Structure 1
């Protein structure tokens, strides 16, 4: 079904895979009449060509990328624009689209959600942007319909910014990276490796894009095969997939931890642009006659079967057939893994969902940028037509990804077919994907065609003893399960004729409601600030030395950004840095905020010229120990802050608040064995936090210990990759921290204390 190559490969004429090795040159000569060097062939990938066109450095090893367009939603754009305003923003230099699809219900926190929306509208007018009102479209569907274009690059502040199927290299990053683009700066990365995703064959009826995506994620997440690399989809199987199918696979590439994605394009993608009235934006993209890839994932589409990603990660995958055949064993394994992931906070059970030997599901959701596409919903309607979802616990909600899709479903009758079964069809909304919509009952089990199934992504609260969980599935198998009134069923087991209706896009829907400045800024517009919209607090520059207290220690194999700063109801506070910070690690380590604030009180006293040890008496013996080796370290040159240790933090969302909330509470650093994603590490750097790495093994410190990092400022200035540190207890115990490669700009940002300070000069 799926094979990973253990070395680089050449793709010849778009169809033939030739493994790198002694025989490769002979094969290339025979097929092409000549053998390009590996370096020449690497320049023949689609990804290389697009990156080269957008690179401003003149050096393809050290990229400085300028994007064509930017996009954000309503739990990220306020913080981004506030940061950019504090850094000198005068107008948006490139098209910037502000969508409202996360806090669009305006149901929590009084007026604060709609206040954010009015902030966004007035900023679009003042700085020359585009504003998409609530319920019109989820961020990524609007981008597909209106922004993507062949050969373009788009940067978004949502991690699922992926439009590779349409020929656009798109990346999801934390807000500060968008701020850099708004200030006409660049996105700086080393040239990424490119991994070919070779598709062959065609999916059997009942297999959808989520099935293909989950099959790939299950093979490449755990081993990091595509981590921080570009996934390039090639091979003859691409042509056997519709545009909607490709889009559904593409959006899930985020869950592999890859950097970006790109696909070869053909007449089906050209038709997509034609349907949307943007024929001029199509561009045919194919790799060169001989393209070198740093690795290859071979996928036989014909052998993919309906998949399910069990709680609590998209990589925890099984075929539905395998799950049903080994039900109790697999459920028992999921429960054991959950006990680790949930720290035993609740008594989590799944085996009690088994009824008469079958797994009963409490809820189905088809939603958002992954599930809410036209073809997914039409296929689900075909399966459900003439059935009933029943009157027991099971419920089904469907969220079309945009109003144009919703209208077409109404016109072609699929909306009626769905609602007659007992399903509820709602407006475009991302809530079910991040824990702010359709929260199930306690102990309920939800199957969703959405992007993630981390803990709390369905809205439950461990700290209140509430737990439900999500498994990811394709819309087709969700519909098959609904037709069986909640008993888990793969779509390949149902007898259905798929109607595959043609899609018609009505551009007037957006023309009548979306505000588009067409790039014209109006500096006379007054920005509307609601009472919850707050400026970032002042942050000081990096001091010569650091005293760090370890205030949280996390040993889970992976820590998600949801666990660092929760999603769901906390989204209403994304515009209030101090208010949001009170939720930091609340679902993983509720004592974190109190511990961090104690240490922060000492730093506040130091910055005010007072004795930090008087503000926090626990410091006095620590300082005394430090003085045994470093008597010159004092309040004038030694900052005091907190740090956390996590094995592999930062999987999942691009949200900058996972880092900024720690900074707001006095965090100076993270210490990790590795960082799950580039975007989380970048967020730490952009908020002036040191991204320390420590070798795997027994830690030299524990939660509650104090660490002393001498000459840390000089180490950053002198581009040191290893930094000496001490555990300051009864004695000074030395150990080593690593920092990895940093660009000159990243070092300056850390030295200045944060990106805002960097731009202030």
Structure 2
């Protein structure tokens, strides 16, 4: 059972949840009057944020982090941006891992060129470099950097180390650049929601099952959106820290800002085992702590779960699915038809064989699935069994070399291989479509983090489509032992005998470059031919003209749709090369439209006659000049940019390229009903685009223009009512836009045209 409280709650003595409306009960228990404002300071999250806040105002936080981390899809762009902004060295431990473009299998030398760039940057600026195949980003940070009371910032959305007492946040690269320049992470104090755990997981129920049950309960309502999830209650003690890590990393899929857990002796043992006992301290809420909501989870009642395509919140109990296969799978097929837009076929009901569901592939991998405990349990299920020699296959990716080494020493790898599983090295590829892509029309069951469309590597635009369902490693192994017939782990009785883990950091000592506080400023960065600088972006003008280049009316637009993952990852170091893929799997005509607008703006900046470049603009400006006080508006003084309308964009990855790709080919603004995540909206602003919103349904269409007068002045105001005009031929219609709250720095970044320009202006860099 997962229950959501419809109001704030008090947690008393860490054990009893009292709804806000019954605060008198709190007084009866404690014998003290209740002060909600003081009780808000009683959360673990408050104490950690207070310790890292550099402002004198806890309502408007300016946070500095203890460490940062990026992988090889993101670190090149971040370092290039920081370098262009005047960075001289890394001011905090900055870990560069190589767990995404690990295989160096696409684009010739370009992936390994990025890796060499990262190593050279670690030497020059004083960073930590983790070579390919050694560890996935989040497992390395758990093992070597997370600690109680710390804060870590990462350029991957699954930056979550709450089970180790660390508040970690996944953000776009621009926010990491600010930290590299000794600036702050600015955010309004977030709401804090208690996740109250009671009971203990049943045998065969794994961390992914608990996580999916929570995601299914909170995602659609936005219950924890941009809030901190604080895990408390007696149920925490029923799980090991390794198990808790598997739940914690999935909190990203709820759209929360961060997570934190109460700590205990097991946390202490985990940190001591990894050679860092000094990083432990007990973290508990105060005797009376106030939370903005509560997710009540009875762990006893959670059963093996499955998240069907195409979102982690599309959750069912496996038994429920197996009892209603036809009806449930047909609903997924309808969604697949919408996603493919008729460009590819995907079916599930044809996989029902004798009333059971036959799947084609199983994957246990990454920061969610590749943990020691999960792999041990998978081996239990497969001991003495086999995956069969038909269409089903199973691949297992231990999350780090130390985990891999111990699994080898304990004979677990041999057991898995004897059952027919393929063992691979630490690699995040299956999580984002760059490894183990299933067959066309295939269904893959995965203990990974996401099952968005195309994250398994399919290309509907080319007629290729497959899909992923998320499951726990235990049920995946049970399915493998049954030849690929979907099977709940509850059907087996082999669970719970977990031998003690032995961590050996020797591989890190031998292979990881430890350069923090050892910057060698005379070293040169090593560039490959694909690594390009950011193109020049102009400052915002007083008036802007936006051309609608895409209109997406889907309920949610993911970052994978804005800029696809998979093979495009090889171009993340080449801004213009990557931008060619923008919206390619959702609106293939967008890039051509936006580049045409960008040519107009580049011509305007060179002093060319924009009416000669695009004759229809003469009619547009004639219409604009009929607006009161705008008779003298000049085309040569008006910035021209492209615009995307989407209902709710930005769910999923932290990748800043979802915004930068729009910007470098002419993007100047988005208009939305709301933004799915804070991190995507931050990316939009850091790349100099205006994050407009509107409450009305959009009546404009692709090809129409939207004129916004006095935008710089509007950015200095309250942002609540910004008048704009829809222009179509000689017709005009007034629009009312608004922008959610922006910090003073964010306003200046947008006016400067991007974060790079803003920093150059501050530092006087020409």
Deviation at 1:519?
Answer: 1.7
Corresponding residue of 2:419: 421
**Matches of 1:741 and 1:248, distance apart in 2:** 34
Corresponding residue of 1:704: 703
SS in 2 for 1:199: strand
- Per-residue CA deviation, residues 657-716 of structure 1 (Å, 9 max, x unaligned), is 000000001000001000000000000000000000010x43131222111111111111
Corresponding residue of 2:435: 437
Corresponding residue of 2:220: 222
**Matches of 1:205 and 1:717, distance apart in 2:** 58
SS in 2 for 1:262: strand
CA RMSD of aligned residues (A): 0.9
**Matches of 2:117 and 2:680, distance apart in 1:** 26
Deviation at 1:403?
Answer: 0.3
- Per-residue CA deviation, residues 605-627 of structure 1 (Å, 9 max, x unaligned), is 10000111222233222122212
Q: 2:484 aligns with which of 464, 483, 486?
A: 486
- Per-residue CA deviation, residues 411-460 of structure 1 (Å, 9 max, x unaligned), is 00000000001100000000000000001110010000000001111101
Corresponding residue of 1:73: 71
Corresponding residue of 1:677: 677
| Matching of residues 55-74 of structure 1 within 5 Å | 55-74=53-72
Corresponding residue of 2:634: 634
- Per-residue CA deviation, residues 169-217 of structure 1 (Å, 9 max, x unaligned), is 0000000000000000000000000000000000110000000000000
1:4 corresponds to 2:38: no
Corresponding residue of 2:275: 277
**Matches of 1:586 and 1:700, distance apart in 2:** 24
**Matches of 1:599 and 1:584, distance apart in 2:** 15
Deviation at 1:338?
Answer: 2.3
Corresponding residue of 2:724: 725
**Matches of 1:495 and 1:233, distance apart in 2:** 29
1:400 corresponds to 2:398: yes
Corresponding residue of 1:751: 751
Corresponding residue of 2:667: 667
**Matches of 1:35 and 1:481, distance apart in 2:** 55
Count of residues in correspondence between the two structures: 758
The 10-residue stretch of structure 1 (720-729 or 396-405) with the greater mean CA deviation from structure 2: 720-729
**Matches of 1:60 and 1:342, distance apart in 2:** 46
| Matching of residues 565-644 of structure 1 within 5 Å | 565-629=563-627, 630-644=630-644
**Matches of 1:319 and 1:632, distance apart in 2:** 64
**Matches of 2:276 and 2:166, distance apart in 1:** 14
1:693 corresponds to 2:693: yes
Corresponding residue of 2:465: 467
SS in 1 for 2:55: coil
1:188 corresponds to 2:178: no
Aligned 8 A contact 1:180 1:187 in 2: yes
**Matches of 1:617 and 1:107, distance apart in 2:** 46
- Per-residue CA deviation, residues 358-399 of structure 1 (Å, 9 max, x unaligned), is 000000000000000000000000000100100000000000
Deviation at 1:494?
Answer: 1.2
**Matches of 2:96 and 2:749, distance apart in 1:** 27
The 10-residue stretch of structure 1 (229-238 or 607-616) with the greater mean CA deviation from structure 2: 607-616
Q: 2:562 aligns with which of 547, 561, 564?
A: 564
1:205 corresponds to 2:196: no
Deviation at 1:497?
Answer: 4.6
**Matches of 2:6 and 2:428, distance apart in 1:** 37
Corresponding residue of 2:258: 260
Corresponding residue of 1:87: 85
1:365 corresponds to 2:363: yes
Aligned 8 A contact 1:340 1:556 in 2: no
Aligned 8 A contact 1:341 1:556 in 2: no
SS in 2 for 1:217: helix
**Matches of 1:223 and 1:632, distance apart in 2:** 48
Corresponding residue of 2:764: none
**Matches of 2:127 and 2:720, distance apart in 1:** 41
**Matches of 1:682 and 1:637, distance apart in 2:** 27
Corresponding residue of 1:645: 645
Corresponding residue of 1:713: 712
Aligned 8 A contact 1:705 1:728 in 2: yes
SS in 1 for 2:635: coil
| Matching of residues 316-327 of structure 1 within 5 Å | 316-327=314-325
SS in 2 for 1:532: coil
Aligned 8 A contact 2:203 2:495 in 1: no
Structure 1: 5+ residue stretches without partners:
none
Aligned 8 A contact 1:684 1:691 in 2: yes
**Matches of 1:722 and 1:636, distance apart in 2:** 26
Corresponding residue of 2:527: 529
Aligned 8 A contact 1:199 1:300 in 2: yes
- Per-residue CA deviation, residues 523-563 of structure 1 (Å, 9 max, x unaligned), is 01111000000000000000111111111010111000000
1:338 corresponds to 2:336: yes
Aligned 8 A contact 2:610 2:636 in 1: no
Deviation at 1:28?
Answer: 1.9
1:43 corresponds to 2:45: no
Deviation at 1:717?
Answer: 2.3
SS in 2 for 1:700: coil
Aligned 8 A contact 1:4 1:298 in 2: yes
- Per-residue CA deviation, residues 305-327 of structure 1 (Å, 9 max, x unaligned), is 00000000000000000000000
- Per-residue CA deviation, residues 248-276 of structure 1 (Å, 9 max, x unaligned), is 00000000000000000000110101110
- Per-residue CA deviation, residues 37-90 of structure 1 (Å, 9 max, x unaligned), is 100001000000000000000100000000000000000000000000000000
Q: Please, what TM-score do these two structures have when normalized by structure 2?
A: 0.98
**Matches of 1:440 and 1:579, distance apart in 2:** 27
Deviation at 1:499?
Answer: 2.4
SS in 2 for 1:512: helix
Aligned 8 A contact 2:340 2:461 in 1: no
Aligned 8 A contact 1:651 1:677 in 2: yes
